[in-house]
Amino acid sequence: MAKLAINVDHVATLRQARGGTEPDPVAAAAIAELAGADGIIVHLREDRRHIQDRDLKLLRHTVKTRLNMEMAATDEMVAIALSLKPEVCTLVPEKRQELTTEGGLDVRMNLQVIEKAVARLQEAGIAVSLFIDPDPDQIKASNKIGADYVEIHTGSFAEAKDWKTEEQELIKIENSIKLASKLGMGVNAGHGLNYANIKKVAALGGIEEFNIGHSIISRAVFTGLDRAVRDMVDLIKYA
């Protein structure tokens, strides 16, 4: 069965709205783990708009499953990762003005910078995942520079406006899973996945871990986080 890792950035977004101390993403991570999450993800952005260095340091001590640090492939972020040693680092593109991560990494066009970051992290025993669009050229480039995992960007599938586009995007995801697996990389997937669309992607098989944030934290406002995590775990289990 595919695993579920929860992105708790949005809990930090709410805290930062008031600049205070609550809600605490560290507490959210503990509740998510108790409800069955297999991992916790945080994106330490260059502008620190949600997750703070303090959160990541505390999570390193408290997370009992796997800590996945999403980050840009910059010297600053690599240095932080090397000091905290999360189990996984997911390299993502980062633009200051974006509301959320908008597209996959262009591994082909930034081969040397990404390859250097991957090597430095792996030398420290950290597994590296590259967040990429479901594009065969990006998958081959990721394999060429030795990535342990690719995380397939499911945003275009999730945002498809009609069933035909959705179907086409799903086929791209399916082909990407097959290619990445054939090349020997682990396959994760995420972005825009929710309680309505998860089943179609989970039913494809071959995905090791789903990385989900917004839909679960949104539902948690109404149902509580424990229930929101359990409901998603069930959907993945029975897909």
Residues that bind ligand PXP (CB under 6 A): 7, 9, 43, 70, 90, 92, 100-101, 131, 151, 190-193, 211-215
Gyration radius (Cα) of the chain, Å = 17
Any catalytic annotation for residue 10? no
Minimum CB distance to ligand PXP smaller for 101 or for 176: 101
User: Phi first, then psi: what are they for 81, rounded to 5°?
Assistant: -60, -40
Any catalytic annotation for residue 191? yes
User: Comparing C-alpha atoms, which of 63, 51, 61 is closest to residue 24?
Assistant: 51
Q: How far is the CB of 119 from ligand PXP (least distance, A)?
A: 20
Any catalytic annotation for residue 153? no
Minimum CB distance to ligand PXP smaller for 179 or for 232: 232
Residue 38 half-sphere exposure toward CB, CA atoms < 13 A: 16
Minimum CB distance to ligand PXP smaller for 90 or for 143: 90
Q: How far is the CB of 182 from ligand PXP (least distance, A)?
A: 23
With beta carbons less than 8 A apart as the criterion, state whether 58 and 26 touch. yes
Of these residues, 43, 50, 153, 169, which one is catalytic? 43
Q: How far is the CB of 6 from ligand PXP (least distance, A)?
A: 9
Alpha-carbon distance of 122 to 184, in angstroms, equals: 16
Of these residues, 10, 50, 153, 191, which one is catalytic? 191
C-alpha distances out from residue 92 to 43, 56, 67, 70, 226, Å? 9, 17, 16, 7, 28
Number of neighbours of residue 208 by Cβ within 10 angstroms:
17
Minimum CB distance to ligand PXP smaller for 10 or for 120: 10
Q: How far is the CB of 226 from ligand PXP (least distance, A)?
A: 18
Q: Looking at the DSSP assignment, which residues form a beta bridge with residue 127?
A: 88
Of these residues, 70, 94, 169, 209, which one is catalytic? 70
CA pseudo-torsion sign 159, 212, 35, 205: positive
Catalytic residues: 43, 70, 191
